[in-house]
Amino acid sequence: MKNKLFIVILIIAVIPLIYLGLVYNSLPPQVATHFSLDGKPDDYRGKSTLILVIGFMQLITIGMYLLLSNINRIDPKKAANQSKETMQKMAIAIVVLLSSIAVRIIYSAVNNGFSLNKVMLPMLGLFFAYLGNLMHSVKPNYFVGIRTPWALEDEDTWRKTHQLAGKLWFAGGIVITVITLIVPANSALIVMISIVAIITIIPTVYSYRYYQLHKK
């Protein structure tokens, strides 16, 4: 089963490279390799650079999948083994997300002027919502989750923190998805960063407060 899943993961990771190969001859000599805050191209390089960029991205994608899938083997707390299935789901989601972003980068290169933000930010919103849906089942570990000193110190604090974080990340992800589809591209990134900051800071503060109130 593991081997079959990894083959599927490799296929997903290779899709952007296949797509790049299919459209390579139709690419202009200079393609976008950097994007401004509003998702518009602001730097161009020779199209061969895109091969290196996409190839590097997909190597990182596979590396992140392997790391998350094997956290239970390297985490000192060993409790990560109890949430192995959750880690696997997160790893698959990351592969799908990063591969989709790679495809969008190639699409932007083919269709010069296409704004990445109007597609990529809603995708990130859905990704955050999905992570929020999984957050409650993540056990204490040093790699994934709201890893505050207080949550790592006390399992009950970890559980309460991630119950709250899961709700906030799910709601925040949905809000990001909807709002970034509506607001102008140059405002969408600011909206996303603001919401991500809120849904990260609140569980962090809550973790400290819960630990102080219940563990003294």
> What is the pLDDT averaged over residues 96-116?
82
State the pTM of this model. 0.84
Each residue of 9-30: pLDDT tens digit?
999 999 999 999 999 888 888 7
Each residue of 34-80: pLDDT tens digit?
666 666 666 677 888 888 989 999 999 999 999 888 877 776 666 65
**Contact (Cβ atoms closer than 8 angstroms) between residue 117 and residue 180:** yes
Each residue of 136-193: pLDDT tens digit?
998 888 888 899 999 999 999 999 999 999 999 999 999 999 998 898 877 888 889 9
> What is the pLDDT averaged over residues 204-209?
96
Handedness of CA 59, 57, 129, 4 (dihedral sign): negative
Give the pairing type, strands 41-46 and 30-35.
antiparallel
* Helices 117-135/155-182 angle, 10° precision: 160
**Contact (Cβ atoms closer than 8 angstroms) between residue 49 and residue 31:** yes
Q: How many whole angstroms separate alpha carbon 176 and alpha carbon 136?
A: 20
